[in-house]
Structure 1
Amino acid sequence: MAINGKFRVSMEDVFPEGAFVVSEVEQVRDFDKSTPQKFVQQLDKESGLPMWAVSVLDADPGARKGDKTITVKVLDEVQPVPPEAVVVAGHEFRPVEFDGLTVTPYVDDRRNRVAYSLRARAMRAPPAKGGKPASASTETKPAGGSAEGKAVA
């Protein structure tokens, strides 16, 4: 049997309703090699690539409360850059898709259940479905808290 513990999956398999970046991209600490005085970034055992972590919000309304925010580890030589934010109803969101996604099941001793570790080779913006880049927003709230916005030159 050719199962090595991890499975290739598609973005649609894991996040059928999409996902949103909710954190900065950070280096994953290698707890075996790091000391209190020296941070060492963890490398993927198979590829040797540095590991980066980003938290994402699962947009599936049926996802359990404790499973709404998931950490995805991205393998890349350089720090991945999250997609641009889009403005929807006056709020910024960072929709994201992952390429080369794998899932590794493991036993979560704290919850006494099977949990899943997600890894990806790249992160990118999903194909546009509306909205506009956050940097292109032209509305601001005037002083006094009025709901009306005005254009910024």
Structure 2
Amino acid sequence: MTDSYVVNVDAAVYRLRDGDPEYLLIERGADEDHAAGTMGLPGGTMETSPDDPADLGGAGAIESTLRRELREEVAVEVGEVVVVTSGVFALDTGEPCLNVVCLAEHEAGDPYPAAPDEVAAVDWYTLDRVAGDDGDEADMPGFTRGYVEAAEAARTTDP
């Protein structure tokens, strides 16, 4: 039995353009420990920092991690954060990872690779582009498509 997991938080950040959603995706840096060079959602691991009680598992730990990672990686701010889905997978190192995917609307900041060692590129993707229906040959793992689909389903579902 595994005694510990890495906890990762991914952000399905969206904006509406002419009423249609676009999702912010990143190309992961070539030196990343997991899925290097592929398209994914911005995010990162929960850290245990005595400077931020939320990062120690207190109330708001997921949201605190998400907001920190978005500022560090792509320099954006978001509105309300809603947990959409979660799952467990093995990192390339074999270490188990609990991944939490959240939905949040873009509020401020023009996204760019603020942490170029982690993020090689950023772009807004329509749902057709995420699905690969527009001829885009981006290296997008199926799990990234699945996370965006889950986020879009949550976005369009009445509470």
Q: Report TM bin, short chain.
A: under 0.3
When normalised by structure 2's length, the TM-score is 0.26
The structure, 1 or 2, with the larger RCO (C-alpha pairs under 8 Å, 6+ apart) is 2
What TM-score does the superposition give when structure 1 sets the normalisation length?
Answer: 0.27
Greater fraction helix = 2
